[in-house]
Amino acid sequence: MKASVSAGVAGLLFALGLGLAGMTDPDKVLGFLDVAGAWDPSLAFVMGGALAVHAVARRFILRRKAPVLAASFPVLGKMQVDGRLVSGATLFGVGWGLAGYCPGPALTALGSGTRSALLFGVALWAGMGLFSLWERARQAAAARATVPVETLRARGG
């Protein structure tokens, strides 16, 4: 229960920060991304402030033996940069640049009921659904490709 309340409070704090920083306004975000035109650097200060707070807080957090609401800190595995990561990051960046929204601010902006936020929300859920279908099909194809020869012979294949 504590973890759920903590996650809810963190989510509300995150949403409030996004709103105060202007990250829920696609025009502000697009102004930040338009480095060759009328560039608005204000979001760089927001990101810099967030990084500074994290850098200080991280030093204190990692001195603890365990997190406050968990038994241990998660152990991250080795991360590889591969084609899926690069293509996903590219698709994310193109979508962000075209719409002026990324998922966190878009979900926060849904509360405003603006047409652009609602349209982005629908597109976000549709994209997640399509990815889920594609990933299931990809995993099924990979599983079929790794079936032992003996199993294929027993099936008559």
pLDDT (0 to 100) of residue 136: 94
What is the rounded average pLDDT of the residues 33-59? Answer: 90
Helix axes 26-33, 83-99, angle to 10 degrees: 120
Q: For tokens 């790794």, what's the residue? A: 146
pLDDT reading at 65 higher than 80: yes
* Vertex 126 angle, CA 124 and 127, to 5°: 65
- Between CA 98 and CA 116 the distance in angstroms is 12
Q: Are 108 and 24 in contact (CB under 8 A)?
A: yes
What is the rounded average pLDDT of the residues 5-30? Answer: 85
**Tens-place pLDDT, residues 89-139:** 898 888 888 888 888 888 888 888 888 888 888 988 898 899 999 999 989
Q: Are 67 and 73 in contact (CB under 8 A)?
A: yes
Query: What residues does each domain of the chain span?
Result: 2-155
Q: What is the pTM of this model?
A: 0.62
pLDDT reading at 29 higher than 60: yes
